[in-house]
Structure 1
């Protein structure tokens, strides 16, 4: 059986995160939203709040794992992409916003642990 590509693993992780967030009551507004400043993995609605979700998958927790992989530069790119989203999608511009992270890490048992960190960082 051939190994899955990094791109396929990433898509699977995003789908897993999307399904989980929808089970928690969030509604999908956009997926893989692209602009010249970057990409937003998921844009969700939690009640009246627009939620920009970064999905991170790591096979191993070494070097701090999935959550630690979001450094200051990555946060800045997400903030800029979110600003562009709100400029393009005017109807959401007056809604409160937050940045969440869904970190998915493989376990030695061959399963995946999902950690949803709400309001992970400020803009």
Structure 2
């Protein structure tokens, strides 16, 4: 798969994930937040919590499923980027937040969405 195809697949996966989470009652705050540390696919609000969502999509599972493709380095970058977002909004000590993963992968010939709430935390990352 070339770079353009992967980019299209990624954008489609983010749209599916956003629609899925909105149907579950979450509200989109920002999509594709960028800063020096990295990018967060979706930033959503779930009642009083800010939810940082990493969207992963795999067409095949030859090298592991979508969730397993998240490295320790990626988790560290996500945590730094989330902290940057919270600092810029002046929300760092004012809101609860969590990290969720939307994993989209093939099951029986169809793409299945799996929502992993509280997929990792800043405390867990210290021990990875």
SS at match of 1:63: coil
Q: Which runs of 5+ in 2 are unaligned?
A: 123-128
TM-score, structure 1 normalization = 0.91
CA RMSD of aligned residues (A): 1.1
Give the distance between the partners of 1:51 and 1:61, measured in 2 at CA. Answer: 27
Residue correspondence of structure 1 range 1-123 to structure 2 within 5 A: 5-90=5-90, 92-93=91-92, 94-109=94-109, 111-123=110-122
TM-score, structure 2 normalization = 0.88
Superposed CA offset, 1:79-118 (max 9, x none): 000011001112x331100000000012352x21100000
Q: Which runs of 4+ in 1 moved over 6 A?
A: none
User: Which residue in 1 is equivalent to 2:126?
Assistant: none
Query: What number of residue pairs does the alignment pair up?
Result: 118
Q: Which runs of 5+ in 1 are unaligned?
A: none
